[in-house]
Amino acid sequence: STAPRCADLSASNSRTETARLDRKLDCLRRIGLFGENTEGASITRAQTLDELHQAYQLVHDVYVETGFIDPEYSGTRLRMFEAKHDTATFVAKVGARVVGVLSIVPDSAELGLPSDRAFKEELDVMRKGGSLLCEATNQVLVPEFRKSAVSTELMRCAVAHMTVAGYDAVIATVSPSHNGFYELLRFREVGSLRSYSDKRHDPVIALC
């Protein structure tokens, strides 16, 4: 006799959660996110050296400004992950100018994923379960495009790439303040709050 009441409660909680997310989505649409207006930017996978250089320079500048990383002499954020031939970097461009970036890094036995730095134990559990993983990283926008649909269009293109490539799950390590965006895309938490860096306090959570 308890099972039906438990099922009813679960269904009610699910409807409440869906309604909450729908209200949040409506609010973000009103300010420009999750809409269709990209403010004239077009989304493509970076193909040229200039596009890649602009992309990783923008990532560097935004991450330095927000305090995530220290400035690099090269003025770009270029790790081994960005140098992999199968890393897909998507860019939003207005004319020849890159205004937004999102990279998808594939998991590998040699390098793993960027999030292994803080969440290797959790990711290894997923690997042992047979999941083919990738990671969404380098997600940045110039300030004037942060209230446009560019961020969601970048993610939409990335999801299309991940689907074609056959990945089972995508990981994102983000500041808790950015969790709301990923929540609306149905990401779930797989790693609790901890510092991403051993040199500075950089609290992040891992999402999937």
pLDDT confidence band for 74 (50 / 70 / 90): very high
pLDDT, tens only, 43-59: 999 999 999 999 999 99
Q: What predicted TM-score, i.e. pTM, was given to this entire model? A: 0.82
Whether 15 has a pLDDT exceeding 60, the answer reads yes
| Residue 170 C-alpha from the chain's centroid | 9
Percent above pLDDT 70 for the chain: 82
Which residues contact residue 137 at a Cβ distance below 8 angstroms, ignoring those fewer than 6 apart?
Answer: 81, 103, 104, 105, 114, 172, 173
